[in-house]
Amino acid sequence: MRRFYDLPKFVQWFIAIILMVGGLALCMPLILKPYGLLIVPLLAPLLNLVTVPFFKLIGYYKYLNPYVLSCVQNDKEYDLHNIFTFDYLINFKWEDRGAYAQKVLLVHYVKSLLTIIERIENEQLSPNVKVVGCSYFFNTRTAEKFGFTLSNASLFWKINSILQFIELSYLYSFAKGKWAMPKFWQVKRAEIVGTDLVVRKEQLEQWVLRLEG
């Protein structure tokens, strides 16, 4: 599993298509039942698990690194997202849960910001780009460290977090190293303009060095 993306591309495509078709064949008949919408939160982890490889291969999920992905990447907006169960299975071992997993996730979140800075400096990306992320774990202190400002997330992201609460809960628990319930109903939107992000480059680089030291 951890070597999935080392496989030849045609093998990745074959596995990705089999996973997605098999998963959808299992889930869609249930979703189309009269009670289907009520069980979407129960099916969401499986749907994510079987679709992630396919969405990555077609370029819908654009990974800034193995732990941070983006769906929107243009001169107006870059969005940042947490990874899914499939990515955890590839990147982590069971014994990595807890402090080590938290450290790895945080380091790579900062590295994703440095990747965006590099693209701005290389003129691959407009300095006016708005970098945004929606998550339940942001707080004022964390946002200030990254240089982000916080606001309430849109209704869409609040509903999305509620529908995904099962997967969010067990992935959050893995990172905590114990059972823990994330406040997914308090999802926040964090954003920063590219020019403001660039001036924090040295601070972010030093932070990565401290975390990896």
Report pLDDT digits (tens) over 80-111: 998 999 999 999 999 999 999 999 998 999 99
Which residues are registered as beta bridge partners of 151?
189
Q: Distance (Å, rounded) from C-alpha 103 to C-alpha 207?
A: 12
Q: Distance (Å, rounded) from C-alpha 40 to C-alpha 32?
A: 10
pLDDT at 67 over 60: yes
The more confident residue out of 201 and 146 is: 201
Q: Distance (Å, rounded) from C-alpha 204 to C-alpha 207?
A: 5
pLDDT at 194 over 60: yes
Residue pair 130/76 in contact (Cβ under 8 Å)? The answer is yes
For 69, how many CA atoms within 13 A lie in the half-sphere containing its CB? 18
Domain extent listing, the chain? 1-59, 61-212
Q: What's the confidence (pLDDT) of residue 151?
A: 85
